[in-house]
A and B are shown apart, each in its own frame.
Chain A
């Protein structure tokens, strides 16, 4: 009798877990489905090549927004990835236990949770107002601030995963600390670090709020980094909140492109993580 009761209880629990999982998946597939359905029809070659056209006209594109996003993500990466990795190396290899490193870790954790709109407002005050205009640089900078803590955290985790015995083996061979870090530990943790970086890039490419305050957006091509520049999420926001049907369609298309970027980056990150071991 006990056996049957136990079996039923097990099945019931399994049923509950499965149901919860399915419910959790609904938003994901729902969102994807909607975006694909609505965005696919608006997607064509002109979307990728053309600049936005005035309301009411068809055939416009988001070429400048796509390029703008890419440019600012690159700026953010150039700033955020080196600083993030070097900080993580410092925290793992040079200073694991002092008050300073505890404070740095705490600050990093807090920063990962800061609402991105606050980052935007801060950069607006500190950079945009000082410079007197919106710019791609300011946009890239705000994205960097969001990206860096993410990279510090993920890199630190990957470095900690490198077994301490590897470090000891390096010391025992009479190799100096900096070479152990550069040529043994980093290569060992490399794929994990790259994965973390790609996920951070994916996350940051979708940020909208900070860019509204820093890059502003641009209907045309920006000719220097010191000008306002278009970005996909911002453009989507502006089009989606407009009253024009053509622009709504473009917003869906833009959403599809943005989500595809994120998904592709995620996939590549996973492939990198799984490969690189022969």
Chain B
């Protein structure tokens, strides 16, 4: 169900600042790929290029190829692309004017789906996948903002899943959460990878080590190293990678 991604010579600018300097990367389907690196290395920019969110900011430019399941993402309408490539953000952002139920099905309903049966079925399925159903099934009408931080983030994950993407991008999804909520999210990601290709940006290396199948290390807009997680964390090829993961950076 997940799809593979091929990134070729990706360059990105923010104003006159070149934030990505030519990234080449193959992302395997049905795996968790973690992107680690120090602040400002371009990892968030990279991920936002994949669902073409980078372009929505003023003053940005992108060059290069990103091929999703055989088709270039620049050949598609970005709005359609984002139904295939979903995103979860660092700070949970449920829609304040909507209830829990409305939030989960927002991606479907606001795109024209009218059938109540389908919407309700989708809501339950997505909330179950996000391990939130049992906690909210009796208060689906309550405001999305009435949940705790960790629950809100799972709500956002359910909302992203309801659209049935094949790739899920997660930009530091647990960085605003306490350790227990973080563990919940990590377990969730482990389960999700059976059906989705997951790309997760994280500044928490231990998290990457715990949940990712493969890890990519970014530095100053370049991809320094990309390989199986156990190898990266036991015997990386590049000295820069080793310096970063051992905490001996600059």
Quick check: do A and B touch in the complex, using CB within 8 A? yes
Across the interface, do A176 and B95 meet the contact criterion of CB distance under 8 Å?
no
Complex Cα distance A184/B93, Å?
12
Across the interface, do A174 and B83 meet the contact criterion of CB distance under 8 Å?
yes
Across the interface, do A188 and B79 meet the contact criterion of CB distance under 8 Å?
no
Across the interface, do B93 and A169 meet the contact criterion of CB distance under 8 Å?
yes
Q: Which of A49-57, A160-168, A253-261, A267-275 lies on the face that meets chain B?
A: A160-168
Q: Which of B4-12, B155-163, B211-219 lies on the face that meets chain A?
A: B155-163
**Residue B234 interfacial (CB < 8 Å):** no
**Residue B38 interfacial (CB < 8 Å):** no
Residue of A168, A175, A179, A180 touching B93 (CB-CB under 8 A): A168
Residue of A nearest to B94 (CB): A169
Complex Cα distance A184/B89, Å?
17
**Residue A183 interfacial (CB < 8 Å):** yes
Complex Cα distance A188/B97, Å?
5
Q: Which of B16-24, B103-111, B126-134, B220-228 lies on the face that meets chain A?
A: B103-111
Q: Which residues of B contact A163 (CB under 8 A)?
A: 93
CB distance from B107 to the nearest CB of A (A): 4
**Chain B 46-87, CB within 8 Å of chain A: the 1/0 string?**
000001010010100000000000000000000111110011
CB distance from B79 to the nearest CB of A (A): 5
Complex Cα distance A76/B209, Å?
63
Q: Which residues of B contact A183 (CB under 8 A)?
A: 110
A168-B53, A184-B110, A277-B143 known; A173+B86 contact, CB < 8 A? yes
Q: Which residues of B contact A174 (CB under 8 A)?
A: 79-83, 107, 111, 163
**Chain A 176-209, CB within 8 Å of chain B: the 1/0 string?**
1001100110011010000000000000000000
Residue of A97, A165, A172, A188 touching B86 (CB-CB under 8 A): A172
The A-contacting residues of B in range 89-139, CB under 8 angstroms, are 89, 91, 93-98, 106-107, 110-111
Across the interface, do A169 and B89 meet the contact criterion of CB distance under 8 Å?
yes
Total number of B residues with any Cβ neighbor in A under 8 Å: 30
**Residue A171 interfacial (CB < 8 Å):** yes
A-B contact count (CB 8 A): 74
Q: Which residues of B contact A172 (CB under 8 A)?
A: 51, 53, 82, 86-87, 89, 160
CB distance from A94 to the nearest CB of B (A): 12
Q: Which of the listed residues B86, B97, B98, B142 has the most CB atoms from chain A within 10 Å of its own CB?
A: B97
A183-B110, A278-B142 known; A165+B97 contact, CB < 8 A? no
CB distance from A173 to the nearest CB of B (A): 4
Across the interface, do A165 and B89 meet the contact criterion of CB distance under 8 Å?
yes
**Chain B 157-198, CB within 8 Å of chain A: the 1/0 string?**
001100100000000000000000000000000000000000
Complex Cα distance A228/B187, Å?
73
CB distance from B171 to the nearest CB of A (A): 10
Complex Cα distance A183/B97, Å?
9
Across the interface, do A184 and B97 meet the contact criterion of CB distance under 8 Å?
yes
Residue of B nearest to A176 (CB): B79
CB distance from A184 to the nearest CB of B (A): 6
Q: Which residues of B contact A175 (CB under 8 A)?
A: 79, 106-107, 110-111
CB distance from A209 to the nearest CB of B (A): 40
Across the interface, do B106 and A173 meet the contact criterion of CB distance under 8 Å?
yes
Q: Which residues of A contact B110 (CB under 8 A)?
A: 170, 173, 175, 179-180, 183-184
Q: Which residues of A contact B53 (CB under 8 A)?
A: 168, 171-172
CB distance from B157 to the nearest CB of A (A): 12
Complex Cα distance A149/B111, Å?
34
Q: Which residues of A contact B83 (CB under 8 A)?
A: 173-174
Residue of B nearest to A278 (CB): B143
A97-B58, A172-B160, A173-B163 known; A165+B93 contact, CB < 8 A? yes
Across the interface, do B143 and A173 meet the contact criterion of CB distance under 8 Å?
no
Complex Cα distance A278/B99, Å?
10
Q: Which residues of A contact B163 (CB under 8 A)?
A: 173-174
Q: Which of the listed residues B82, B87, B93, B159 has the most CB atoms from chain A within 10 Å of its own CB?
A: B93
Across the interface, do B82 and A173 meet the contact criterion of CB distance under 8 Å?
yes
Residue of A nearest to B84 (CB): A174
Across the interface, do B79 and A169 meet the contact criterion of CB distance under 8 Å?
no
Residue of A nearest to B142 (CB): A278
Q: Which of the listed residues B80, B83, B95, B159 has the most CB atoms from chain A within 10 Å of its own CB?
A: B95
Q: Which residues of B contact A179 (CB under 8 A)?
A: 110-111
Complex Cα distance A180/B160, Å?
16
Provide a sorted-by-A list of 24 A–B residue pairs whose CB atoms are within 8 angstroms: A96-B58, A97-B58, A168-B53, A170-B95, A170-B106, A171-B53, A172-B53, A172-B82, A172-B87, A172-B160, A173-B82, A173-B106, A173-B160, A173-B163, A174-B79, A174-B83, A175-B79, A175-B106, A175-B110, A175-B111, A184-B95, A188-B97, A190-B97, A277-B143
Task: Name the 8 nearest CB pairs between A and B, nearest first.
Answer: A174-B83, A173-B107, A187-B97, A174-B82, A172-B87, A165-B93, A169-B93, A188-B97
